[in-house]
Chains A and B, each alone.
Chain A
């Protein structure tokens, strides 16, 4: 059994961890390229959104390299993602591939569904329930550490003195965390990672912008589709905060440990604009945009795959959020034909707008102080 899993941000690090824990036979799925996109777009239904096409393309590559078990995520919500595995299986079977498709229900659906679905990859005879639960808990803790490192890097990148020093620290810290497996090792790795970040020289009083990054998890996390926006913003003195992470999505108790605002609070913040769950990350997108606006962020960038159902609703509502809370919001819809230059031009315009807003408010504040 050779397992292949789609790529998405830190997911490959997490899978590597699980592979070592449970001694699985694993094959690294090829990275997203224009070629895999072309293959995926040719096979997939026309109006399927980007993640299906993108993942399908890399699955074809993985099958060609000898994978025989494809593992993908599921879900029970109104988002189409829950049905992707089934459609991909049908398409790939039609193309004449011989393989097994395993759809993992995320723990946030129900722990039981998650356990049942993971048993088809890690059989009961091989790993008992106690071991499985313990090891998965440790994996989740590791995911949390990795995502926290990411969050930290996003905050610091815009303020670093030596260009690239935050990335070096991030890579080192990720390496340290990846080597940790037991509880003790993980907590030591956490301290070591923190120490590594403290070595980075930061210019705290540099003028900077604060930008929130929201949207559908796949395009927000995967650098090939968002044109590496995190680094792009980091180079332009922007402190970034991201509302979606893998650990928040996997958290079975909906606490959003990395973002820091539990789901019920996000829902409450979103309520004046979107008062019902719409599947996927739709409610989180709206709620976190409101949170960012209340916290005085200078702008929000919203990434969505073209025709993504929950995010299109969020996009429709975000215009109102932006108007009423006076914070620019840029929605960027990504599909296989989106060009880098177009996205970057719009982002540059957004940053210019945010800088001028900031200058205006600083000016107004200075005037107010002069009067009083």
Chain B
């Protein structure tokens, strides 16, 4: 049975289930690389161009891990996720970067995923790929159908109420692939929970609210996930539903550097809630991160104890 590899990195954290169900429906065996380890990170860093951003380095590490374990590797080219938006250039060129990394890699399949475009324009890519895997026409159609069905649940906002009673809320804004990866983010979300605060994530903010906040910006942000992050952060701060916001970015993240500056400036103008920016790279030490979060949370606690009106998110 053909083993199709899926690197557990970047948009796998968002669309992985859909891709897996596509492969499974075809009757092939999906091979997902293990969760990120120090070894993966090191080999990724060693094989990537030194200017690449951290997520691409992580991706490379996972890709190389699959070299022996898979007969083919699936790296979809995600062109857009929302209407009128653009992906980060790294997603657009990802399959090409992957092919350039190592000559001995198994063949890399890169069907296009252009979620904002009309479906018939990009789904055909997947269909043709299924045929190349040797599937019959009906099996290929079934696989595409399964992928689309599972995609719907991937795209739906995460269920679960945003408010919690225990402790106070802290907004944690960052890319899914950083926050969902316990090695890269060094378990940031869990650490915050352990320290007695409840972290809110971008995916739980309804799209309607995100869009409303984005309309208040002078110039439209055209990157998919980054516009979501900005919209969510502005919603948290303007509705005072959090006591503070932690903005997590990764080293050399291009769009991240822009929206980081934007968020800092906007928070400075509105003087709403405290903000802390953290930049991750492959050398980040846990100690430094923990100390900074502790200090930040202590500051929020102190602020809400002294002035309940200004940091009301804690009390509510």
Contact = CB atoms under 8 A, between A and B. Distances in A.
Contact of A307 (B99, B110, B254): B254
A85 to B, nearest CB: 7
Interface string B14-32: 0000000000000000000
Contacts of B307: none
B57 to A, nearest CB: 12
Interface string B234-265: 00000000000000000111111110111001
A251 interface: no
Interface string A245-258: 00000000000000
Of A90, A310, A312, most buried by chain B (CB within 10 Å of CB) is: A312
B261 A313 contact: no
Given A78-B223, A320-B99, A87 B86 contact: no
Interface in A34-69: 44-49
B276 to A, nearest CB: 15
Given A85-B219, A273-B96, A333 B262 contact: no
B100 interface: yes
Contact of A83 (B89, B221, B253): B221
A77 to B, nearest CB: 6
A306 B51 contact: yes
Contacts of A306: 51
A250 to B, nearest CB: 20
B51 A312 contact: yes
Given A45-B260, A86-B262, A276-B96, A315 B49 contact: yes
B97 A317 contact: yes
A52 to B, nearest CB: 9
B215 to A, nearest CB: 15
Interface stretch (A128-136, A278-286, A358-366): A278-286
Interface in A210-268: none
B222 A78 contact: yes
A274 interface: yes
A104 to B, nearest CB: 13
Contacts of A94: 265, 268
A3 interface: no
B92 A276 contact: yes
A45 B93 contact: no
B8 interface: no
B88 interface: yes
A120 to B, nearest CB: 13
B62 interface: no
Contact of A312 (B49, B222, B258, B279): B49
Interface in A275-319: 275-280, 282, 306-310, 312-313, 315-317, 319
Given A82-B222, A273-B96, A309 B268 contact: no
Given A275-B96, A315-B49, A47 B253 contact: yes
A80 B88 CA distance: 9
B49 A309 contact: no
Nearest to A280: B89
A86 B49 CA distance: 30
Given A82-B222, A87-B261, A317-B100, A277 B92 contact: yes
Nearest to B98: A316
Contacts of B256: 47
A72 to B, nearest CB: 12
B257 A46 contact: yes
A140 interface: no
Interface in B266-316: 268, 279
B218 interface: yes
B223 A276 contact: no
Interface residues of A, number: 43
B87 interface: yes
A47 B93 contact: no
A76 B223 CA distance: 10
Contacts of A275: 95-96, 110
A79 interface: yes
Contacts of A83: 219, 221-222, 258
Contacts of A44: 261
Given A45-B261, A47-B256, A307-B254, A79 B51 contact: no
A170 interface: no
Contacts of B95: 275
Nearest to B99: A320
A91 interface: yes
Interface in B179-233: 218-219, 221-223
Given A82-B222, A85-B219, A278 B92 contact: yes
Nearest to B258: A83
A80 B258 contact: yes
A316 B97 contact: yes
Contacts of B255: 80, 309
Interface in B101-160: 101, 110, 112
B52 interface: yes
B96 A313 contact: yes
Contacts of A310: 89, 93
A103 interface: yes
A313 B219 contact: no
A124 B197 CA distance: 56
B65 interface: no
Contact of B89 (A90, A103, A309): A309
B90 interface: yes
B133 to A, nearest CB: 20
A87 B100 CA distance: 34
Given A78-B87, A78-B223, A86-B218, A309 B96 contact: no
- Top 10 nearest A-B pairs (CB, nearest first) are A47-B257, A313-B93, A45-B261, A309-B254, A86-B219, A278-B89, A78-B86, A309-B89, A90-B265, A320-B100
15 contacts: A45-B257, A45-B261, A47-B252, A47-B257, A78-B89, A80-B254, A87-B261, A89-B218, A94-B265, A275-B110, A279-B92, A307-B254, A312-B51, A315-B51, A319-B100
Given A45-B258, A47-B253, A276-B77, 14 more contacts: A45-B257, A47-B256, A49-B254, A80-B255, A89-B218, A276-B96, A277-B92, A279-B89, A307-B53, A312-B52, A315-B51, A316-B101, A317-B100, A319-B100
